[in-house]
Amino acid sequence: MSGADLAKDKEKADRTDEATVKASGPDKAGTEAAAKPAENPTIRQPSSERVLLARLFRYVRPHWRVFALGVVAMMLTGSTETALPAIMQHLLDDGFGGKGNPQLMWTAPLMIIGLFVGRGMFTFTMNYAMNEVSNSVLYDLRKQMFDRLVQMPVSYFSTHSAGTIIARLVNDVQNVTQSLASVLVIMVRDTCVILGLLGWLLYLNWQLTMIAFVLIPMVALAVGAFSRRMRRLSGEQLRYTGELTSVVGEAIHGNPVIKVYAGQEHERSRFAAASRQLQGFARRMTVASSLLVPITQVMAAVAVSLVIALALYQSQQDRTTVGGFVSFLTAMLMILNPLKHLADVNGQLQRAFAAADAVFHFIDEPIENDHGTQEIERAKGALRFEGVRFGYEGSTSLALKGIDLEIKAGETVALVGGSGGGKTTLANLLPRFYSVTDGRILLDDIPIESLKLESLRRQIAWVSQQVMLFNDTIANNVAYGSRRGASEADVRAALEAAYLTEFVASLPDGINTMIGDNGIRLSGGQRQRLSIARALLKNAPILVLDEATSALDNESERFVQAALDKLMHGQTTLIIAHRLSTIEKADRILVLDDGRIVESGTHAELIELGGLYARLHAGGTLT
């Protein structure tokens, strides 16, 4: 079909676009479409604390024996606290009293030593067991989160910043396990301490003890009032922490750009703004959590004052002994610290719940919809687009508007056009990074929606301008993914085809040389050729070249283009490029404008046509 014929259908297609967006629009992409940004706290309501605890317990259940040992050790550790005031009463009344007891000279020190030895053993067991469970749960959660991460659709990463995602996997999940382990220790151990000491207090003097009981409901009300505020503030703090992490990440990765464009002041302003927001929420959390502790302490001080007054009155009537009063006062003072811990633990607990909610929200994100059932071992590479329309979620217009295209096996097709014409979108539909809104794409007459994702993507190799290399060896970057087990001979053959043999031979460790973060130790041309070597080793029947040479100088492009010529031989190739040296070798050139193919032909035919391609070529820009 000529460019003129294609243009005749444009007006007719325009009339159907608006209806298509409304009827079958981007929402049809379903779970593969971009999710709403998680940073917006109004999107969903937080899960209840009961639901979060139930989900967390599922991760604890496989380690229940160690967990149970830790809980028992907590209870025993808390129970030992009661022994100290009991020994003190016995020592004062029987050892220092009028009668005296010579045996206490030996038994009292031994009891104290035995008490602290036992307590030390219980404390060690408690700490070891809880850290073991905490680290195991941390590993399980992170593993599940990372498994979810690599299965999420491409659209998720276009709506969520890298800093927020990293914060979820690194900071939030660690906050959950460490905070809840610490909270559990405090709640079980200190509750046992309080119960044990309260029992001892009741045994010594029930009238004095009742004074303490009066204040317990007041403390509970204070804790409840602060807990709701702390939970809300904790969620906000996590969100702003993610934003701050994103700013720092961009400053690290974009450091050269920042320096060249003198953006230091702008980045300082961004960081300062994000830090101030985080500081403001931290200040509000500090005020809320700090008020709870002194309020609790004041209540306790009132109770102690009343106890002393009543004890002095009872001593005048010989209803209490010196040892009993000192033991009672000691036990009451000892109970203040656990009460403080329990009051203070609420803020930590609410932060843990906020982090747990964020973690489980991440785990619950939908993964790619792999609903295909068919598999193909190796495709011939014939492609057909039938009435393909596509729109990104949230957009009111279509990015592709009725693409009808047939590509023969082994054919090289170049896509050119202005920015936003739909070139990259068209390529992204091939490996099902996104699902079509309407129409279908066929590979060897099989709808790609019917193919399993792994089988479909096994047929495609991808080389883009934005080269992604891993902080690993040269060999492992070439033999990546499904080709991980490739022989050294195959790796070297791919490197030779990509014109990298001489460079690799100059390195001290050869193909086992570490290349750093995203290949930072390599030049732009070397990085591009390494990605081409990876595609060569995969030897897929379909090749997508997305601006593969646009960022290279002439010398680098010469080597890369030679490597690409070898890579493209015999493969069905889809080229998105703007350099004439790459495009003019294509069997066919398709010109896209506003989501449609408006011209089709060879370089010479399109120049002669004098349409959009000719104008772009004359202006020196083919994309």
Tell me if 179 sits within 8 A of 351, measured CB to CB: yes
Q: Tell whether 1 is covered by a domain.
A: no
Helix H or strand E encompassing 464: strand 460-464
Per-residue pLDDT, 33: 35
The enclosing domain of 60 has a CATH number of 1.20.1560.10
CA 430 – CA 447 distance, rounded (Å): 11
For residue 532, being part of any structural domain is answered with yes
Of 462-466, 526-530, 578-582, give the lowest mean pLDDT range: 578-582
In sequence order, which residues have a C-beta less than 8 Å from that of residue 54 and are 6 or more positions away? Answer: none
pLDDT (mean) for 545-558: 68
- pLDDT at position 364 is 92
Verify that 474 and 589 share a domain, yes or no. yes
Q: What's residue 369's pLDDT?
A: 86
pLDDT at 22: 43
pLDDT at 70: 95
CA 578 to chain centre: 36
Core vs surface per residue 606-616: b (16+ CB within 10 A) or e: beebebbbbeb
Are 66 and 99 in a shared domain?
yes
Residue 4 lies in a domain: no
* pLDDT band per the 50, 70, 90 thresholds, residue 188: very high
Q: Which residue has the tokens 């009961």?
A: 50
Residues 6+ apart with CB under 8 A from 197: 81, 82, 85, 331, 332, 334, 335, 338
- Of 311 and 553, the one with more pLDDT: 311
* For residue 256, pLDDT beyond 70: no
pLDDT at position 566 is 80
Taking a C-beta distance cutoff of 8 angstroms, is the pair 344, 293 a contact? Answer: yes
CA dist., res. 138 & res. 341, Å (int): 24
> What local confidence, expressed as pLDDT, does residue 225 receive?
66
Range name among 137-141, 195-199, 276-280 with the lowest pLDDT average = 276-280
Residue 359 included in any domain: yes
pLDDT digits (tens, 9 = 90+) for 266-277: 888 888 888 888
* Percentage of the chain modeled with pLDDT above 70: 83
CATH number of the domain residue 556 falls in? 3.40.50.300
Predicted pLDDT of residue 103? 73
Q: Are 66 and 126 in contact (CB under 8 A)?
A: no
Q: Are residues 307 and 233 in the same domain?
A: yes
User: Under 8 Å CB-to-CB from 526, ≥6 apart: which residues?
Assistant: 500, 503, 519
Return the percentage of the chain with pLDDT > 90, whole number. Answer: 32
User: How large is the average pLDDT for residues 509-526?
Assistant: 88
Answer whether residue 4 shows pLDDT above 70. no
pLDDT of residue 143: 94
Query: By the 8 A CB rule, do 82 and 191 touch?
Result: no
* Domain contains 334: no
Using DSSP bridges, classify how beta strands 596-601 and 383-390 pair: parallel, antiparallel or unpaired: unpaired
Which uninterrupted H or E stretch holds 545?
strand 542-546
* Residue 34 domain-assigned (yes or no): no
Q: Note whether 358 and 276 are same-domain residues.
A: no
Q: How far apart are CA 445 and CA 433, in angstroms?
A: 20
Task: Please tell me the predicted confidence (pLDDT) of residue 75.
Answer: 94
Does the pLDDT value for residue 553 go beyond 90? no
Residue 376 neighbours by CB under 8 Å, 6+ apart: 443, 444, 446, 451, 455, 459
Asked whether residue 388 falls in the same domain as residue 362, the answer is no
Q: How is the chain split among helix, strand and coil, in percent rounded to 5?
A: 65, 10, 25
Q: How confident is the model at residue 217 (pLDDT cuts 50, 70, 90)?
A: low
Statement to judge: residues 289 and 356 lie in one domain: no
Shared domain for 92 and 235, answered yes or no, is no
Residue 18 has a pLDDT of 47
Of the candidates 607, 559, 544, 554, the residue with the CA atom closest to the CA atom of residue 579: 554
pLDDT at 162: 83
Q: Is 592 helix (H, G, I), strand (E, B) or coil?
A: strand
Q: What is the pLDDT of residues 430-466, one digit of tens each?
A: 999 999 999 999 999 999 999 999 999 999 998 888 8
User: pLDDT per residue over 162-180, tens digit each?
Assistant: 888 888 898 899 989 988 8
Residues 6+ apart with CB under 8 A from 484: 476
Residues 605, 517 share a domain: yes
**Res 38: pLDDT:** 39
Is residue 64 very low, low, confident or very high in pLDDT (cuts 50, 70, 90)? very high
pLDDT of residue 31: 33
pTM score: 0.71
- Residue holding tokens 């005048």? 316
Based on the domain organization, do 499 and 514 belong to the same domain?
Answer: yes
Domain presence at residue 327: no
Q: Given this model, what pLDDT does residue 375 score?
A: 93
Residue type for position 198: L
The answer to whether residues 472 and 350 belong to one domain is: no
Return the half-sphere exposure (C-beta side, CA atoms, 13 A cut-off) of residue 441: 23
CB 21 within 8 A of CB 391: yes
Helix ranges, 25-63 (H): 49-60
Mean pLDDT check: name the lowest of 111-115, 358-362, 382-386, 558-562.
558-562
Q: If residue 412 lies in a helix (H) or strand (E), which one and from where to where?
A: strand 412-417
Q: Single out the residue of 538, 581, 586 nearest to residue 561, CA to CA.
A: 581
Q: Write down the pLDDT at residue 220.
A: 59
Can you tell me the mean pLDDT for 587-610?
Answer: 92
Nearest 10 degrees: Cα torsion 580, 585, 588, 593? -20
Range of the domain at 353: 46-204+343-366
524 has pLDDT over 90: no
The CA distance from 508 to 511, in Å, is 9
- Domain count of the chain? 3
Domain assignment present for residue 50? The answer is yes
Whether the Cβ atoms of residue 500 and residue 533 lie closer than 8 Å to each other = yes
Q: How confident is the model at residue 216 (pLDDT cuts 50, 70, 90)?
A: low
pLDDT 10s digits, 304-357: 777 777 777 776 766 677 787 788 888 877 887 787 788 778 778 888 888 899
The amino acid at 216: I
Q: Is 444 left (phi over 0), alpha (psi -120 to 50) or beta?
A: left
Residue 300: per-residue pLDDT? 67
Mean pLDDT, residues 183-188 taken together:
91
| pLDDT digit string, tens, across residues 220-235 | 566 666 666 676 777 6
Q: DSSP state, 577?
A: -
Mean of the per-residue pLDDT values of the chain: 82
Considering only 303-307, 355-359, 474-478, which range has the smallest mean pLDDT?
A: 303-307
Pick from 519, 509, 505, 573: nearest CA to 541: 573
pLDDT exceeds cutoff 90 at 139:
yes
**pLDDT band per the 50, 70, 90 thresholds, residue 389:** very high
Q: Which of 115, 88, 81, 151 is nearest to 453 (CA)?
A: 151
SS3 463: strand
pLDDT in tens, 65-111: 999 999 999 999 998 888 888 888 877 777 675 555 677 777 778 88
Can you give the pLDDT at residue 244? 84
Residue 374 · residue 452 · CB < 8 Å:
yes
- Rounded distance, CA 33 to CA 591, Å? 26
DSSP 531: H
Strand partners, 600: 590
Mind spelling out the 3-state secondary structure of 447-472?
EHHHECHHHHHCCEEEEECCCCCCCC
Amino acid at 62: P
Instruction: Give strand pairing partners of 383.
Output: 407, 443
For 588, phi then psi, to 5°, come to -150, 145
Using the predicted structure, report yes or no on whether residue 261 has a pLDDT greater than 90.
no
Same domain, yes or no: 481 and 584: yes
User: What digits encode the pLDDT tens for the residues 9-44?
Assistant: 544 445 445 444 444 443 333 333 333 333 443 345
User: Confidence band (pLDDT; 50, 70, 90) for 555?
Assistant: low
**Does one domain contain both 124 and 221?**
no
